[in-house]
Amino acid sequence: MKRAILLFLFMIFFFIGNSQSKKSDLFDLSSIKISELKVNTIRSDFGPAIIGDSIFFTSFRDELIVKSDKELMEREFYDLYNARINDSGVVVSGRNPLGEFITRYHDGPVSWCPKTNELYVTQSNYVNPSVKYKAFRNEEIKLRIVVAKKNEGKWTLDEENEFRYNNADYSVGHPAINESGDTLFFTSDKPGGFGETDIYMSVRKKGKWNKPVNMGSKINTSGKDEFPFITGDSYSGRFLIFASTGHGSKGGFDLFYIKLSDPDGVVYPFPEPINTEYDDFAMNLPEYVEYGYMTSNRPGGTGNDDIYRLVFSKYLSYVQEILVLDSKSRKPIPGSLVNFCNRKNQKVEADGIASFSFDKNAICDVTASAFGYKDKSKLIKIGSHKQGTVLRDTIFLDMIVNEKIVLKNIYYDFDKWDILLESAKELDKLVALLKENPDMKVELGSHTDERGSVGYNMKLSQLRAQSAVNYIVSKGIDKSQITGKGYGKSQLINKSTAKIKLTPEQQRENRRTEVFIPGFYVGEPVKQVKGDFSDGKPDIKKGYSSIKEQGSILESSVNERAVSNSDNEIKFYVILGSFKENKGAVKLVQQLKTEGYNATIVDETKHFRVVIGYQNLSQAKNVLGDLKGKYKDALIRPKEN
C-alpha cells in the first residue's frame, strides 16, 4: 500500500449473487452509490469484514487517535473493532473494541468462515511497535496468519495454530477463506513471485494446508497485487476480487475482479465511483444483500483511510412457492396445476407445492387449477429480499357444485370399448377427486358415433360406460360412488347430412364418455394413444381386449340393419331415394352397404327406388330415426303385395 499505516490486505466475505444470472458482472456496475461510514476516525480505519450482524474493522483505540503519527508508530498498535449494522448495511451502533485482540501485536484485518468457526487474523510477527508497520517491505515488519475461534462468546487466539506456511523471512498475510473453509487466498512477498507482492492460494485436504500456489501472471503483475477476496458458490461462477497497482491502475491501488471458473477469464477493473486516482482497496461484499464495503484514501473522508459503504443492484432471483389447498378441508389437492405468468402448467408435488424462480421486483399473475375445482388467480409481487429467500403464498380452490366442468373426453375406436392411454390419464383425475371426496357421486355417460342402429349403439355405449366404471373401481374407488350409463347415439356432437359426410376425427368426437359431478359437463378433444387400459394397468403394448375376449358386437347385431333373407317376410320399406336412372340408385345402394345396410332397388318400371325392408314397423322406425338426419326425404311405406 501507499500509506505507511495500511499494512495489509483483508479477506472479505462476498455476498451470494444471482445464481440464475448469465452475466459475468458481479452486480449492475451502473447502479453503484457510495457513502462514508460514521465509524471512521481522523486516523486510518480499514479492512471491513462482516460477521453476523456486525462489521469488523481495524483501527486505533479512541484514546490514541489524538496522538501524533510518531507516537502512534513508536508506541501503539492497531486493534480490532466492531459495530452493529442493520439490514441495509448501515452502522447503527458505536465502535466497540474487541478486548481479546487488544494485544502487543498489530491485529487485522480478518476473514471469517462460519462453517468451521474459524477467524483468520493477520498479525505482525514482532512485538516492537517502533518497527514501522508497512506491509510487504523487506526492511519493515513481517506478517503472519493465525486462527481464532469463538467459545462461550469470546474469541480465543491459539498462537500455536498458525498457518503452516508463515515464514519469518517474508510476510504472509491478509487471508481470504472461502465459505467451505478448504481454500485460502493470501498475499505474500515471498521470493519467486511476479512482482513486489503476489496473491497465492492453498487448499486444505485432510486437515492440512497444501503448499501454496501462485495465482499466475494473469492476476499477479510486476507491481503489488493484494487484498484477495473469493465469492461464494451462488454466483454464476467463482470470482476473485483483489487490489493491484498494475492492470492499468488509475493511480495507486485499484480494485479488480476475474471469473476464476472461466478458463478464458479476463481481469476487469471496477468503474467509478469505486476506483479513483487514489488508493481503493479491501472490498467486502456480504452474502445475500445489495450492499458492500471498501476502503479508500480519497479526498473528502474523515481520516487518512476510510471505510465506505457501497449500494448497488444485484442480479437477484428468488424461489416462489405456491401451496394449493382445498378451501374447506385445507388439504393439498392432488394433481392440481399452477400456471406462472402464462408459462406452461406446473404440476404440484405431493405436498401441494409448485415453485418457480423469479427475478427481483417481478410481478406475476399466478393461476391454480384442479379437476373439479374453480380456477383461481393471484397477483404475486416478488419485491427485493435477501438472496436465497424462499417466498411462499397459498391459493385456496373452491370445489365446483352443480356447475359445468370441462373434462377431456374419453374416446374409443370403432366397435370397441377399451380404455385408451390418454383416457386413462383423464380418468385418473376423477379417481383422485373421488378419493379426496368419498361422499361424491358421479355418473359416467357414454356415447357412440352415428353409424349403426339404435339398438347396436345403445348396447355398445353401455359397454363403454361400464369399461370406464371398471377402470375407476380398479383404482380403489367404491362402487357406490360411480355409475355408468349408455346413451347410444342420442346425443351426437357431429351429425352428417345428405351433403356432409363426417370425417374420422368427427366420428371419434361422437364416441366419448362424459363425466357428471353432479351437474352437466362439456367435453373437449384429446389425442388418444392405442392400447388397453381397461383393467386399470396402463400397458400400451397390450392389444385391444374387448373384441379378443368378447367378439365384435357389430357382427352380432348387423342383421338388425339388413333386409330379411325372404322377401315374403318383408312388411315395410324404408325408402331412401327415387331415381329416374338406374345409375343413381346403384350408387346409393353401394353407399348404404358400406354403412352396414342391406339396401336394394325396387319398382323399376317407372322409378328406381332404393329401399331397406323390415319385418315390422318398429324396426323400420328405428332405422328411419338413424338415417333421417342424413336422408331428409326418407320415409316408411308398407310393402305392396
Which domains can be identified in the chain, with CATH numbers?
28-313 (2.120.10.30), 317-397 (2.60.40.1120), 406-557 (3.30.1330.60), 561-638 (3.30.70.1070)
Check whether the bond before 518 is cis (ω within 30° of 0).
yes
Q: Which of 286, 222, 224, 231 is nearest to 257 (CA)?
A: 231
pLDDT at 641: 64
Tell me the pLDDT tens digit for each residue of 493-546. Answer: 888 887 888 888 888 788 777 777 653 333 444 444 444 444 444 444 444 344
Mean local confidence (pLDDT), 556-568: 45
Q: Where is pLDDT greater, at 209 or 429?
A: 209
Query: Which amino acid is residue 525, in one-letter code?
Result: P
Distance CA 615, CA 623 (A): 12
Distance CA 119, CA 208 (A): 17
Mean local confidence (pLDDT), 216-225: 95
Distance CA 600, CA 611 (A): 6
Res. 199: pLDDT tops 50: yes
Distance CA 201, CA 227 (A): 13
Q: Where is pLDDT greater, at 66 or 386?
A: 386
What is the band of 197 on the pLDDT scale with cuts at 50, 70, 90? very high
Range with lowest mean pLDDT among 22-36, 277-291, 401-415: 401-415
Query: In a 10 Å sphere around its CB, with 0-12 CB exposed, 13-18 middle and 19+ buried, how is residue 607 labelled?
Result: middle
Query: Which amino acid is residue 274, in one-letter code?
Result: I
Evaluate if pTM is beyond 0.85.
no
pLDDT at 8: 34
Question: What is the full DSSP assignment across 93-127?
Answer: S--EE-GGG-SSS-EEEEEEETTTTEEEEEEES-S
**Hey, what long-range contacts does 588-595 have (CB within 8 A, 24 or more apart)?**
595/451
Range with lowest mean pLDDT among 244-253, 307-316, 412-421: 412-421
Tell me the pLDDT tens digit for each residue of 129-183. Answer: 444 444 443 345 688 899 998 888 888 876 667 899 999 889 999 999 998 999 9
Range with lowest mean pLDDT among 108-117, 339-348, 542-551: 542-551
pLDDT at 262: 81
* Average pLDDT value over all residues in the chain: 78
